[in-house]
Structure 1
């Protein structure tokens, strides 16, 4: 939407993408963060930080 500056609009789209991708990834891995990180090609600790940022890390998702 052009109702907000480019950077804000881009950040909002990326934020939505990350949250949706991470939620699907956690579902695929049954909450196993190490397995999810391997599937996504991400460092496990980086994935952990992304999950925390999006509020997706929960007790059921612990390694």
Structure 2
């Protein structure tokens, strides 16, 4: 895709969760990828974080889905 590039590194301290930054039209967006399977993309609302919005739900969904959480 034009205008998008990513840098991802698995973080062994976080149980293999992949995280990194995607460059989208000169904006560096942080993301995390949990699990495998059909993708489920989560966008948090204003004044929250991935953890405060979805921290309790990501492990459940990641059992059967690839959860992509964007900050």
TM-score bin, normalised by smaller chain: under 0.3
- The structure in which a higher percent of residues are strand is 2
TM-score (norm 1): 0.27
Whichever structure has more helix as a proportion of its residues is: 1
What is the TM-score with the length of structure 2 in the denominator? 0.25
